[in-house]
Amino acid sequence: MSAVLNFKSHLSELFAQALREVAPDATQTEILIERPKQSSHGDYACNLAMQLAKPLRKPPRDIAKALMAALPESDVIEKLEIAGAGFINVFIATAAKQHVVRGVLQAGAGYGHVHLGAGRKVQVEFVSANPTGPLHVGHGRGAAVGDCLCNVLHAAGWNVTREFYYNDAGVQIDNLMNSVRLRCLGITPDDPSWPEAGYRGDYIADIARAFLEKETVEADDQHVHASGNVNDAEAIRHFAVAYLRREQDLDLRAFEVEFDVFSLESALYSDGKVEETVSKLIASGHTYEQDGALWLRTTDFGDDKDRVMRKSDGTYTYFVPDIAYHLDKWRRGFIRVINEQGADHHSTITRVRAGLQALDVGIPQGWPDYVLHQMVTVLRNGQEVKISKRAGSYVTLRDLIDEVGCDATRYFLAARHPDSQLVFDIDLAKSKSNENPVYYIQYAHARVSAVLAQWSGEHKALLQADVRLLDSEYEAALLQQLIDYPQVIENAALDLAPHLVAFYLKDLAADFHSYYNASRFLVEDEAVKLARLALIAATAQVMRNGLAMLGVSAPEKM
């Protein structure tokens, strides 16, 4: 028997063949293969017969019988049953489940990869912090969720481009420049003249000192030299932005997050893309002048009210460069775009999409996709931590990485649905206990590594193991976990929900620890020993694969 690595895909193909025979005029019908809630209903269930009842004008149970008769032979299927109104319940052969062990060991790091994306391009924009200070813990959540999402999409067969968009224009950058200039002049945030909108963190003093000492900073491909001239506002602005871009890049490297493309809001203006976009919107007939301002009629596209594009002072509102930026994404050939942003961006979604529709360049409705994450509360000793000495008013991403490590920070920030508020408990993240999910999962991997090291045999011996000997309830539970992994990746990619991988790994670790506590592996019976070692080696492989999706390491010793 050859190992089937994705039972759901295999069954979908079988039912597609049966569909072509039973209903050749209805081959576009979606084939849904799902896991029943009760094990007595089989391993998988298909509702295809009920979907075909109306077009075929036949009872679904009769269609189910015809589909079962037309289903190609497969040694993966033990038996089929018709249940209820016409569900087809599929029971997978035990031998097929057992052979997954060999399939995992042979596929290695590729196990779990699916072909959902079929090599199509997708661009994921995430973090996209204003270059006005160190990355805070909210940016960290965006970085963790965005990077994990990219990993999942890649594993699901998409050609992924990671992109960071710097909002290096506008009022906040003016405030940054003014704050650095005041520091250069020796004025501190304690001074009564310090502006209310000024930035107060110690990092502002660091930038001012570097500017006065005429340092050079490198940000991406830019080399920015400080002039030291405190009267040159543009020079201060340029240097401060570059300095903080470099600092944010160092934070992201410490977080093991890399980007393929960096885009600048300022470049949209300097390259004329904002003006071009505004001209296109005016030409489309969806704008009008009122009270000295230029408005976009976003109500034409589902918004609750029209929005100002160009204010009476001639400056653009913040969503206008966003429209220009997304038009640029479309022109770069990204038919699919996903933006991972904070929940505070929710109000901009409708107007950006409306602007893109108003351009009338073929962009589909509902483009781009959005994943919005909620706030993060940081706790230490049960008390909320609100400030960082360096940043002044918030907890930085670097604070967390320095205190609990990159692995725990990434896991905790990615391990819940982005739409739910997250409490980051520093004490839990640092604890070496089963309550800490990172420790719990990594410890499971280290346990496997220790057993395999003690055995000290060759990997190829595990490929020849007699997996038919894996018949205990603990082994059945682990086998089912291995079988489920490709579906977890597919679901995480479809739902843009990388936290599903974190949930899965916790369950996989739980089943492994139960098996470990109930079983011996280095037994005298050579066949039993190799079968059990093959199973835990396959389990460790899937743990490594899943942890890699989250950007978390898989230690061999702890």
**319 and 272, same domain (yes or no):** yes
CB-based burial, 8-41: b 16+ in 10 Å, e otherwise? bbbbbebbeebbeebbeeeeeeebebebeeeeeb
Per DSSP bridges, beta strands 159-166 and 261-264 are parallel
Q: Which pLDDT does position 1 carry in this prediction?
A: 55
pLDDT of residue 74 exceeding 70: yes
Q: How confident is the model at residue 114 (pLDDT cuts 50, 70, 90)?
A: very high
**133 and 222, same domain (yes or no):** no
The 10s digit of each residue's pLDDT in 223-234 is 899 999 999 999
**474 and 488, same domain (yes or no):** yes
CATH number at 293 reads: 3.40.50.620
Please indicate, yes or no, if residue 2 is contained in any of the structural domains.
Answer: no
Please indicate, yes or no, if residue 498 is contained in any of the structural domains.
Answer: yes
Please indicate, yes or no, if residue 398 is contained in any of the structural domains.
Answer: no
Give the chain's count of helices (H) and strands (E): 21, 17
Q: Which pLDDT does position 5 carry in this prediction?
A: 79
The 10s digit of each residue's pLDDT in 390-441 is 777 899 999 999 999 999 999 999 999 999 999 999 999 999 999 999 999 9
Percent of residues, the chain, with pLDDT higher than 70: 99
Task: Indicate the residue among 373, 397, 425 that finishes a domain.
Answer: 373
Q: Which pLDDT does position 388 carry in this prediction?
A: 75
Q: What is the DSSP string of 75-115?
A: TTEEEEEEETTTEEEEEE-HHHHHTHHHHHHHHGGGTT---
Please indicate, yes or no, if residue 88 is contained in any of the structural domains.
Answer: yes
Q: How confident is the model at residue 155 (pLDDT cuts 50, 70, 90)?
A: very high
The 10s digit of each residue's pLDDT in 293-319 is 999 999 999 899 999 999 999 999 989
Please indicate, yes or no, if residue 126 is contained in any of the structural domains.
Answer: yes
Q: How far apart are CA 28 and CA 92, in angstroms?
A: 26
Q: Which tokens hold the place of 458? A: 């060759």
pLDDT of residue 128 exceeding 60: yes
Amino acid at residue number 380: R
Per-chain mean pLDDT for the chain: 95
The least confident of 4-8, 33-37, 59-63 is 4-8
Task: Indicate the residue among 373, 392, 410 that finishes a domain.
Answer: 373
Q: How many domains does the chain have?
A: 4
**140 and 285, same domain (yes or no):** yes
**183 and 72, same domain (yes or no):** no
Q: Which pLDDT does position 296 carry in this prediction?
A: 97
Task: Determine the average pLDDT of the residues in 269-294.
Answer: 96
The 10s digit of each residue's pLDDT in 215-264 is 999 877 678 999 999 999 999 999 999 999 999 999 999 999 999 999 99
**146 and 271, same domain (yes or no):** yes
**248 and 276, same domain (yes or no):** no
Q: How far apart are CA 351 and CA 323, in angstroms?
A: 9
Task: Indicate the residue among 236, 254, 272 that finishes a domain.
Answer: 254
Q: How far apart are CA 219 and CA 294, in angstroms?
A: 36
CATH number at 507 reads: 1.10.730.10
- Which structural domain range is residue 32 located in? 7-92
**189 and 139, same domain (yes or no):** no
Q: How far apart are CA 197 and CA 247, in angstroms?
A: 22
**234 and 335, same domain (yes or no):** no
Q: How confident is the model at residue 197 (pLDDT cuts 50, 70, 90)?
A: very high
Task: Quote the distance between the C-alpha of residue 190 and its chain's center.
Answer: 41
* Contact (CB, 8 A) for 293 and 308: yes
Q: Which pLDDT does position 39 carry in this prediction?
A: 83
Please indicate, yes or no, if residue 411 is contained in any of the structural domains.
Answer: no
Q: How confident is the model at residue 170 (pLDDT cuts 50, 70, 90)?
A: confident
**333 and 272, same domain (yes or no):** yes
Q: How confident is the model at residue 38 (pLDDT cuts 50, 70, 90)?
A: confident
CATH number at 49 reads: 3.30.1360.70
Please indicate, yes or no, if residue 14 is contained in any of the structural domains.
Answer: yes
**128 and 275, same domain (yes or no):** yes
Please indicate, yes or no, if residue 556 is contained in any of the structural domains.
Answer: no
Query: At a CB cut-off of 8 Å and minimum separation 6, what does 493 contact?
Result: 114, 116, 117, 152, 153, 155, 156, 158
The 10s digit of each residue's pLDDT in 173-195 is 999 999 999 999 999 999 999 99
The 10s digit of each residue's pLDDT in 328-355 is 999 999 999 999 999 988 889 999 999 9
* Contact (CB, 8 A) for 80 and 91: yes
Q: Which pLDDT does position 389 carry in this prediction?
A: 67
**277 and 345, same domain (yes or no):** yes
